[in-house]
Chain A
Amino acid sequence: GAGVSQSPSNKVTEKGKDVELRCDPISGHTALYWYRQSLGQGLEFLIYFQGNSAPDKSGLPSDRFSAERTGGSVSTLTIQRTQQEDSAVYLCASSLLIGQYEQYFGPGTRLTVT
């Protein structure tokens, strides 16, 4: 079956512009996570969604970052007024439920801020 998909795969943007990253989770998965991975580094938790519950936004690095999940499926991560330090690979993962369940990762969006 289809896995987690993300778009775009690559995004180059100028400093100060806004960007939107999209994640399509596996059908039927109620939990969705966003992570950020800088070059050669580990994964930094950003936010998770579980069903219709309020998301845990505690990992968002600043108020320039926001995310939403419409209809319990597709999610978009928005970065406003991008900065060079936002350059990274943004990974989305979904799992059947929140908690002790395997996370399935998408291929990621590589964001470069010039």
Chain B
Amino acid sequence: GQQVMQIPQYQHVQEGEDFTTYCNSSTTLSNIQWYKQRPGGHPVFLIQLVKSGEVKKQKRLTFQFGEAKKNSSLHITATQTTDVGTYFCAGLSGTYKYIFGTGTRLKVLA
């Protein structure tokens, strides 16, 4: 069945350093969504990418969808302590059920 893998599983960075998480699907995706889950909280939608090669920016966050629509990345520039949490990608392929990635847990050291 469809699988979505994320790397790395964990990332500890010093405040001010950059951070990137990568998402790879075993199948071509129609779209991909990114969510952030703070410790003890529930996932909150960040963005959706639909087009091949699409790049979207939200302040310090840059999201990219691969040309083959099988991979995606989230890059945070100059991390802040408020960026702490787990970042999930979720891909849609063929049906309407979203397959969530395994998540990348980000810790930012002040």
Contact = CB atoms under 8 A, between A and B. Distances in A.
Q: Do A and B come from one complex?
A: yes
A56 B97 contact: yes
A99 interface: yes
**Chain A interface residue bracket vs B:** 20 to 34
B42 interface: yes
Contact of A45 (B35, B45, B98, B103): B98
Interface string B38-50: 0001111100101
Interface residues of B, number: 23
Contacts of A41: 102-103
A93 B50 CA distance: 20
A91 B48 contact: no
Interface stretch (A13-21, A63-71, A72-80, A103-111): A103-111
A41 B44 CA distance: 16
Given A56-B95, A100-B31, A107-B41, 10 more contacts: A41-B102, A43-B43, A45-B97, A100-B30, A100-B48, A100-B50, A100-B92, A103-B45, A103-B90, A106-B42
B97 A59 contact: yes
Interface of A: 31, 33, 35, 41-45, 48, 50, 56, 58-59, 91, 93, 98-100, 102-108
A56 B96 contact: yes
A34 B86 CA distance: 19
Given A100-B30, A103-B33, A42 B100 contact: yes
A42 B97 contact: no
Contacts of A100: 30-31, 48, 50, 92
Given A103-B45, A104-B45, A42 B92 contact: no
Residue from A41, A43, A108 whose CB has the most chain B CB atoms within 10 Å: A43
Given A43-B100, A45-B98, A56-B96, A102 B33 contact: yes
